[in-house]
Structure 1
């Protein structure tokens, strides 16, 4: 019985992933280069005794496609998080996107987001985690607010025991929960 309890988080995450109804959509292939600078850390404890349950996170990205379209995108995404338990945390943040279109225009997108992160299982130098993120998206080219649910499942394992380099495999489907006038 105990072995089944240890597998319960993995079974629950895989069940959620595979029972999600498929959505028939056209897939557009795109490739390019994303330059990312990211930082995450804990805030110090108020009494100076180490670290608190509060975290901060910020990433900045520059995205350049190699398709020759001339489109590029810049974004900044700060957030703040709180550990509910050693394996469960909640986050909230804001993201600002500026996309330069091939026609010379600029589209601005504002995203407010909330996130629940759960480290489902750790063993040795490996871990399995999941993240649910809800985003409210507003574009300068439309009047509607889009709502997107992102469900990520991630496996991380050290390439060498105790090493600094990781093998990471993840999947993150996006679910549009509200139709918008901007697509």
Structure 2
């Protein structure tokens, strides 16, 4: 998937940048609902490692996804800067909220289309299909995540079911 440009050609796009284990990542700001401080997460039995549990967000049950574990890395270590980014995800045309556990939120960045490169053609620490592009920030890159792939509710639900079946066997 390529990063969707706004209706105006050449317009800047905004992304929320955050860190995971010292690496810079970003997601389209339009998918972000809010950022909350990490607090009590209720574990849910028989879930894969990347599902930390659920939180109560104004009466709604919101699953919390550990992005480091989702990307095949060891689970995140909690710190004072750890926070949960609440994003909109879609499954079967239904909008759902997900909490993404990140090490720290950095800033909202604006990128021109000329500052966005396609994903690398080789493997890396993050599954390539999770990457929408590479944002150029000076001499550094920010990994731009594809929310439809990285936070694919259907795929995560299948992994949860597989985890439950494996533990039940």
TM-score range with shorter-chain normalisation?
A: under 0.3
Normalised TM-score (structure 1): 0.24
Q: Report 1 or 2 for greater relative contact order, CA contacts < 8 Å, sequence distance ≥ 6.
A: 2
Report the structure number with the largest CA radius of gyration. Answer: 1
Higher helix proportion: 2
Higher strand proportion: 1
